Each structure stands twice: as C-alpha cells, then as structure tokens.
C-alpha cells in the first residue's frame, strides 16, 4: 500500500506540472433515447389517429433536442434554484423514491399490528411424529404383523419390514412434508390416527406402510418475536404494493382508461 502511494504521488507531481493551469474546454453531450422518441411517436399516433410522417418525426426529435439544450442551459444558470414548482415536484419524487428506504426503518408497532391482522400467516401447521414399517411387496398377513407388534410393543421392530431410504422415524412433519417424502395425498392416511397404535397398511408410491403415530403437535401460533423476520418480509411486500396503489389511485382520475379488445 505504502509503495503504491509513493508511486502515485510521483506520477501526480509529474502530471500536475504538465496540466496545472491548462483549461480544458468541455463540450456537454445531449442524448436522446430511442424509447423516448418511440414513446412520443406512439403518443402522436394515439392523438392523431395516424403515424407521424418523416417531417413530423424530425420535428419531434428537434423539439426533444431543444428541450434538452434549454434544460441544460437553465441548470447552468441555476434557474432551478428557489423555484417552488420544481421544489415541490422534487420533494414529491423523493418521497416516493424513499418509500422503499423507509421500509428498513419500519416501526415495531406497525409490525405488531400487521402480525395481529394476519395471524393466519404465522401459524405452524399440525405436526405428526411417527414411525413406520415398510414393505415394498404387499403382504397378506398385516393383521398378524400388527398383533405381533402389539405383543412386542416395547421391543425393537427391527426384524420386521424393509429399510426405507428416508429412515424409519419422522419427527414433527406437517402434511406437506409427509407428502414430499411419501407422495402426494399420503398424509391423508395419517391425519386422524390415534396415538400409539399400529395402523395400516397404507399405500405410498413406494409400497405398503404400517404407521405408528406417537406424538401430534397441534396448530400453533408463532410468537411475534419468533416470527418477526417473516413479518418484516410480508409487511414490506404489502407496503410496497400499498404505496404503488395509493400513487396510482391518486393520479388515475386524470386519465381516461381505455382497454383494448382482447377476446
């Protein structure tokens, strides 16, 4: 780093002696964007019901150039300073633009209010903990197997059934998670089983399963503090939409809205 600074200072001193005092004339550039021209052409067409001819397009571009030049000159002369109309317009633009930044500074009470109003988003679904015994080929003695399991409730059931690639025990799985592991709709089999009893067989896309539910956790509301990050995300989404909608509703009366044929 030090070496870089020494090198640079040397280069600077050299260049300063060369350039100091030289007045480089600068030419401002004006850029007229394609979409802007196209947009004005479309507006012309909407207004008059016909596309502009070459001469008229030239006039549109000419006007844009003049507008840009006058705008730049006005800025150079400082005519934008202390102009109430420009001030108000800029403040309005800034307020609109800053909405997104304000989201980072949302107040806790807004979040709590949003959380309470949308409490359904912050619920944990009913969750099931269960074990299962898997048979890739259907058996015809499931009732006997279940009786055996009853007799040997406290001993391991390791010798019955086949290993399942997802494992034998599933903890705190909701409906979607169960369907993810066993296939769509499989969870329906489990939803209303009594605890600590072997049920089945139930068919999954892989084969037959005997199921033993040992814990069911009810639907639960996540406390605000724990859900806060999700609340911030959802609240921010809503505010963004609200800001846009409010803005649109505030100006929509100025337009006649015409929707084209689409059927």
Partner 1 sequence: MRYFLVLIAVFIVSCSDSSQETKDFSIKDKKEFIKSKDFNENKNVYFGDLHVHTKHSFDAFIFGTTNTPDDAYKYAKGGTIQHPLGFDMKLRQPLDFYAVTDHGFFMGMMPAWADPNSKPGQHPYVKTLHNVNRKENLTVESSPERLYYFRELIRSGAFAELGSIFSIIKAYLTNNNSFAVDVFDYDTHKSAWSDVANAAERHYEPGKFTTFIAYEFTASTEGMGNLHRNVIFGSSKVPIRPYTRIDSLNPEDLWNTMDKWRENGIDSIAIPHNSNGSNGRMFEIHKANGSTMDTQYLNQRIRNEPIVEITQVKGTSETHPLLSPNDEWADFEIMSTRVGSVPPTYSRPDGSYVRDALKKGLMLEQRFGGNPYNFGFIGSSDTHTGASSFDESNYFSKVGILDGTPVGRGSIPIPQEQLDFINNLSDEQRDIYNYVDYDGQKYMRAGFDEWGASGIAAVWAEENTREAIFSAFKRKETYATSGNRILLRFFGGFNLDDIDLNSSSLISELYKRSVPMGGNIINSNNSIPNFIIWTKKGVNGANLQRAQIVKGWIDDRSAEPFEKVYDVVCSDGQEVDQVTQRCPDNGARVNIADCSISADVGDEELKTFWSDPDFDPDLKAFYYVRVIENPTCRWSTWDALRAGTKPRNDLKPTIQERAWSSPIWYIP
| Contact footprint for partner 1 (CB under 8 A) | 1, 4-5, 8-9, 12, 15-16, 20, 29, 31, 33-36, 93, 97, 136, 158, 161-163, 165-168, 171-172, 176, 179-184, 205-207, 222-223, 225-229, 232-233, 236-237
Minimum distance from CB of 157 to partner 1 (Å)? 8
Residue 82 Cβ vs partner 1, minimum distance, rounded to whole Å: 21
Q: Is the peptide bond before 201 cis (omega within 30 degrees of 0)?
A: yes
Ramachandran angles phi, psi of 208, nearest 5°: -100, 150
Report the residue number, 197 or 234, with the smaller CB distance to partner 1. 234
Q: Closest separation between CB of residue 176 and partner 1, Å?
A: 7
Write down the least CB distance from residue 207 to partner 1, Å. 7
Helices within the chain (DSSP H only): 2-19, 34-48, 54-76, 84-103, 108-117, 142-151, 175-182, 224-251
List, in order, residues 6 or more apart from 133 with CB less than 8 Å away: 145, 149, 157, 160, 161, 168, 209, 210
Q: How far apart are alpha carbons 186 and 176 in whole angstroms?
A: 10
């Amino acid at each position: 780093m030090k070496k870089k600074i020494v090198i640079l200072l040397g280069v600077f001193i050299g260049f300063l002696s060369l350039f100091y005092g030289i007045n480089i004339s600068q030419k401002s550039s004006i850029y007229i964007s394609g979409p802007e021209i196209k947009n004005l052409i479309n507006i012309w067409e909407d207004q008059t019901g016909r596309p502009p001819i070459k001469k008229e397009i030239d006039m549109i571009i000419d006007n844009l150039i003049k507008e840009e030049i006058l705008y730049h000159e006005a800025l150079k002369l400082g005519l934008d300073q202390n102009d109430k109309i420009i001030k108000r317009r800029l403040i309005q633009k800034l307020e609109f633009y800053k909405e997104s930044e304000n989201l980072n500074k949302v107040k806790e009470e807004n979040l709590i209010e949003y959380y309470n109003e949308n409490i359904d988003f912050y619920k944990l679904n009913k969750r099931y903990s269960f074990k299962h015994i898997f048979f890739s080929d259907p058996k015809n003695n499931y009732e006997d197997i279940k009786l055996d399991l009853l007799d040997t409730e406290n001993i391991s059931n390791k010798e019955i059934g086949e290993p399942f690639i997802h494992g034998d025990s599933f903890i705190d799985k909701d409906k979607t998670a169960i369907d993810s592991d066993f296939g769509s709709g499989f969870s329906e089999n489990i939803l209303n089983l009594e605890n600590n009893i072997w049920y089945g067989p139930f068919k999954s896309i892989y084969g037959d399963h005997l199921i033993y539910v040992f814990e069911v956790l009810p639907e639960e509301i996540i406390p605000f503090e724990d859900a806060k990050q999700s609340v911030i995300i959802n609240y921010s989404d809503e505010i963004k939409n609200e800001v846009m909608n409010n803005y649109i509703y505030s100006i929509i009366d100025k337009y006649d809205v015409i929707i084209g044929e689409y059927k």
